[in-house]
Amino acid sequence: MRNHLTHPIFSLISEVADEMQRPCFVIGGFVRDIILHRPSKDIDVVTLGSGIELAEALCRRLGSHAHLAVFRNFGTAQVKYHDGKEWIEVEFVGARRESYSHNSRKPIVEDGTLQDDQNRRDFTINALALCLNGERFGELVDPFDGIGDIERELIRTPLDPDITFSDDPLRMMRAIRFATQLNFRIYPDTFDAIKRNSERIKIISRERIADELGKIIRADIPSRGFILLEESGLLPYICPELAALKGVETKDGHGHKDNFYHTLTVLDNVALRSRNEWLRWAALFHDIAKPRTKRYDVRLGWTFHNHNFIGAKMIPGIFRFMKLPLDERMKYVQKLVELHMRPIVLAEEVVTDSAVRRLLFDAGDDIDDLMCLCEADITSRNAEKVRRYLENFALVRRKLTEIEEKDRIRNFQPPVDGSEIMEYFALPPSREVGELKSAIKNAILDGIIPNERDAAWQYMLKAAEQMGIKKP
């Protein structure tokens, strides 16, 4: 494995460690990612004894090109080093043994051997170590056949999975996250232990869970993670609203589609087309209000009236609970959830210019993302239906481009603003001013006047006359 340790930093660490007569290993994710040919930035080094001392010695050797940060409470130190091209980060820690109490994922830590340190790792593929010392430079230490598990594409705990997961329940999320990112399976024994311990996830902070969910949703096929979260029993603790989407009810022999699996298909469809994480969250939540709005009607069958509006209203509560950001990213998700039915309705009818203008006005710069979501939302198994919808969407898209070029509605700025109206008629801020402004906006959106200053001014004067507003 020495050919993977060609970066000069490794021979430097090796020299320093040999001089101090310290056994020293690269360990964990960095080694795993070398073997998987994945890019990996953070290098973890474990040594017997104090990791801080080793880091300090390395830093002295590197001189002015390096920065040292020491975290005494954790017994770790980080060396940042610029090799002329980029910054490299190496984290140093002493090998340790961990023991856990029942109600915390914070272990009691003692000094230990390399084997102790590998035992405390979450998965066999994350317990690989490469020796950095003298003769043994590049030698692989793999006590749990992590290499075999990489070949078999398996996520498996090194020790009894019930203990591993009960000690630190975050590892259940990590198992599912790695399975999703790497496209690996979870070893059946390991997965059964997640099912048995799922309730333990309650002791994990929502921030950490959100961090893992972010990694799942950014993966190439994010549905894999959500299916595993559902099958393991973790999903109701993480996002009960999402868990509630699962299942099919039947009345008079009519079933509706399973909204959980439909949602995941939409999510994967979006993921194929876009790396935008927040568009993916919007896909995940686009039908979130379906369980709440579900009704059965003898004439209409299953309906989910207003599920888009109610869904948008549910988003802040869900984001707060899940510790997702409450800023403009949430507003974006809300907007897409609220608008996700609009292009479909448009595509079902004759596509009028004014409907297209209103859609452009409401979606603004997010119109392309909204169209992407709507196209992803066509998951019917009826090929003819899919073809018809996609054709209509193509027409909506053509119209969107056409009208945007002509009328520039996307970032609509009224061509006549309120202060001009107030000045001209010597009016204070008032209902009349608001009404004149919205009359102009509606006339433009309805195509009565073009989005231009002169036309808008003339139209405003006429509207004012009709409302009985006079220039003093």
Residues of this chain that interact with Mg ion (CB under 5 A) are: 29, 42
Taking CB under 6 A as the criterion, which residues in 78-107 touch ligand ATP?
none
Under 8 Å between Cβ of 197 and 172: yes
**Single residue of 43, 59, 121, 314 touching ligand ATP by CB under 6 A:** 121
Question: At its nearest, how many Å lie between Mg ion and the CB of residue 27?
Answer: 11
Question: At its nearest, how many Å lie between ligand ATP and the CB of residue 216?
Answer: 12
Question: At its nearest, how many Å lie between ligand ATP and the CB of residue 33?
Answer: 7
Which residue type does 451 have? N
Q: Which does 171 bind (CB under 5 to 8 A by kind): Mg ion, ligand ATP, none?
A: ligand ATP
Q: CA 374, CA 275: separation in Å to the nearest integer? A: 16
Retrieve residue 85's tokens: 């091209």
CA 176 from chain centre, in angstroms, equals 14
Task: Name the nearest CA neighbour of 195 among 170, 230, 224, 226.
Answer: 230
Question: At its nearest, how many Å lie between ligand ATP and the CB of residue 30?
Answer: 7
Which residue type does 284 have? L
Taking CB under 6 A as the criterion, which residues in 122-151 touch ligand ATP?
122, 126
Retrieve residue 174's tokens: 């990590």
Question: At its nearest, how many Å lie between ligand ATP and the CB of residue 377?
Answer: 31
Q: Does 43 bind ligand ATP (CB under 6 A)?
A: no
Question: At its nearest, how many Å lie between Mg ion and the CB of residue 173?
Answer: 15
Strand 87-94 vs strand 96-99: parallel, antiparallel, or unpaired? unpaired
Q: CA 70, CA 169: separation in Å to the nearest integer? A: 28
The DSSP string of 161-175 is: HHHHHHH-THHHHHH
Q: Which does 122 bind (CB under 5 to 8 A by kind): ligand ATP, Mg ion, none?
A: ligand ATP
Q: What percent helix, strand, coil does the chain show, rounded to 5?
A: 60, 15, 30
Residue of this chain nearest to ligand ATP (CB atom): 29
Q: Which does 170 bind (CB under 5 to 8 A by kind): ligand ATP, Mg ion, none?
A: ligand ATP
Q: Which does 151 bind (CB under 5 to 8 A by kind): Mg ion, ligand ATP, none?
A: none
Backbone angles phi, psi at 300, to 5 degrees: -90, -15
Q: Which does 126 bind (CB under 5 to 8 A by kind): Mg ion, ligand ATP, none?
A: ligand ATP
Q: In this chain, which stretch among 7-15, 68-76, 166-174, 336-344 interacts with ligand ATP, using CB under 6 A?
A: 166-174
Q: Does 168 bind ligand ATP (CB under 6 A)?
A: yes
Q: In this chain, which stretch among 9-17, 67-75, 164-172, 369-377 interacts with ligand ATP, using CB under 6 A?
A: 164-172
Q: Does 169 bind ligand ATP (CB under 6 A)?
A: no
- Kind and range of the H or E run holding 272: helix 259-273
Q: In this chain, which stretch among 120-128, 332-340, 345-353, 412-420 interacts with ligand ATP, using CB under 6 A?
A: 120-128
Q: CA 93, CA 439: separation in Å to the nearest integer? A: 68
Under 8 Å between Cβ of 443 and 449: yes
Q: Does 28 bind ligand ATP (CB under 6 A)?
A: yes
The DSSP string of 425-444 is: HT--S-HHHHHHHHHHHHHH
Under 8 Å between Cβ of 24 and 5: no
Q: Does 29 bind ligand ATP (CB under 6 A)?
A: yes
Q: Which does 54 bind (CB under 5 to 8 A by kind): ligand ATP, Mg ion, none?
A: none
Q: Does 171 bind ligand ATP (CB under 6 A)?
A: yes
Residue with tokens 């869900």: 318
Question: At its nearest, how many Å lie between ligand ATP and the CB of residue 367?
Answer: 34
**CA neighbours within 13 Å on the CB side: how many for 419?**
0
The residue count for binding ligand ATP (CB under 6 A) is 10
Q: Which one, 130 or 315, has the nearer CB to ligand ATP?
A: 130
Q: CA 37, CA 91: separation in Å to the nearest integer? A: 21
Q: Which one, 32 or 307, has the nearer CB to ligand ATP?
A: 32
Question: What angle, rounded to 10 degrees, do the helices at 206-217 and 277-285 form?
Answer: 100
Which residue type does 335 have? K
Retrieve residue 248's tokens: 């099919």
Q: Which one, 42 or 365, has the nearer CB to Mg ion?
A: 42
**Single residue of 132, 170, 271, 367 touching ligand ATP by CB under 6 A:** 170
- The residue ranges that bind ligand ATP (CB under 6 A) are 28-29, 42, 44, 121-122, 126, 168, 170-171
